[in-house]
């Protein structure tokens, strides 16, 4: 029997992804978990779900890993989302003992320092559990940890955009951006987990890959972009 590749993440790997910008578009192409499993000759369990954050990704993977016999697992991949998201569970109406995951786009209860520190705890905890179970794994920061929230804040402050990731900033907005990035970077390097997270953590955002997007409006990966993500992970499995 083929071993399982178990993956979780957000919309970038969601097998049921629907483009909000192009609702009539057929996005039923294979996502990176299916593509990677096929290349590794494994069967896939794709838990990726649009809109979800770190708590869902962590919880869905740990629960699934504990459900399946260890010898049947070939690889577990956590594709981490953006830090500000807040995940929680709700009961499904008219269903006994059934719950569903949902999320808030931004956790209004915290600061960017809190969101990043929370993410770092999930990274280290995930690594510790999988190391203890002696199950092969990879972690990947697939979408940027904090810049999405930064762009939203800059929009609120009046930034003009030529495209999503290239705002035209005047003096005060540029200063705000640099201070925000400094706060985020310092939170990461000052985390007690920073030097504990090992070589199995991959940062897609620091790669030189220019991912192929659905469109200028929808920055999610296209079919070609999914292939690029698959190759990025595969080339770094070691």
139 phi, psi to nearest 5 deg: -115, 140
Segment 72-94, tens digit of pLDDT: 999 999 999 999 898 888 888 77
Question: In 3D, which of 226, 225, 227, 231 has the Cα closest to residue 210?
Answer: 225
At residue 52, the 3 state secondary structure works out as coil
Q: Look at residue 158 in the predicted model and tell me its pLDDT.
A: 64
Q: How many residues does the chain have?
A: 238
* CATH number for the domain whose boundaries are 4-146+197-234: 3.40.50.1110
Angle at Cα 52 formed by Cα 51 and Cα 54, nearest 5°? 145
Q: Look at residue 163 in the predicted model and tell me its pLDDT.
A: 46
Q: How far is CA 9 from CA 27, 96, 127, 176, in A?
A: 17, 27, 16, 30
Average pLDDT, the chain: 89
How buried is 168 (Cβ within 10 angstroms: 0-12 exposed, 13-18 middle, 19+ buried)?
A: exposed
Phi-psi region of 211 (alpha: psi -120 to 50; beta: other; left: phi over 0): beta
- Residues 75, 226: Cα–Cα separation, whole Å: 18
Q: Is 123's pLDDT higher than 90?
A: yes
* Neighbouring C-beta atoms of residue 232, cutoff 10 Å: 18
Residue 202: pLDDT band (50, 70, 90) is: very high
Segment 173-188, tens digit of pLDDT: 778 788 888 999 999 9
How buried is 39 (Cβ within 10 angstroms: 0-12 exposed, 13-18 middle, 19+ buried)?
A: middle
End-to-end CA distance of the chain: 23
According to DSSP, residue 62 is labeled H
Tokens 């698959």 belong to which residue?
230
Angle at Cα 11 formed by Cα 9 and Cα 12, nearest 5°? 75
Model's pTM, two decimal places?
0.89
Segment 145-174, tens digit of pLDDT: 988 777 777 767 666 554 445 555 667 777
| Residue bearing the bigger pLDDT, 199 or 126 | 126
Angle at Cα 145 formed by Cα 217 and Cα 190, nearest 5°? 160
């Amino acid at each position: 029997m083929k071993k399982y590749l178990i993956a979780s993440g957000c919309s970038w790997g969601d097998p049921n992804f629907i483009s909000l910008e192009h609702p009539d578009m057929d996005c039923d192409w294979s996502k990176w978990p299916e593509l990677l499993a096929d290349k590794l000759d494994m069967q896939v369990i794709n838990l990726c779900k649009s809109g979800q954050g770190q708590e869902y990704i962590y919880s869905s993977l740990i629960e699934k890993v504990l459900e399946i016999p260890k010898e049947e697992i070939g690889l577990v991949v956590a594709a981490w989302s953006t830090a500000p998201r807040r995940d929680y569970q709700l009961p499904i109406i008219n269903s006994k003992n059934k719950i569903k995951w949902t999320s808030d786009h931004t956790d209004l209860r915290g600061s960017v320092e809190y969101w990043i520190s929370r993410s770092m705890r999930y990274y280290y905890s995930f690594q510790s559990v999988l190391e203890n179970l002696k199950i092969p794994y990879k972690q990947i920061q697939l979408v940027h940890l904090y810049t999405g929230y930064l762009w939203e804040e800059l929009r609120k402050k009046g930034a003009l955009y030529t495209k999503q990731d290239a705002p035209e900033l005047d003096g005060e907005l540029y200063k705000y951006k640099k201070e925000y990035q400094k706060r985020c970077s310092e939170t990461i390097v000052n985390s007690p987990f920073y030097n504990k997270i090992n070589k199995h953590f991959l940062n897609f955002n620091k790669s030189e890959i220019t991912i192929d997007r659905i469109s200028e409006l929808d920055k999610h990966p296209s079919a070609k972009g999914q292939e690029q993500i698959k190759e990025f992970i595969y080339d770094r499995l070691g």
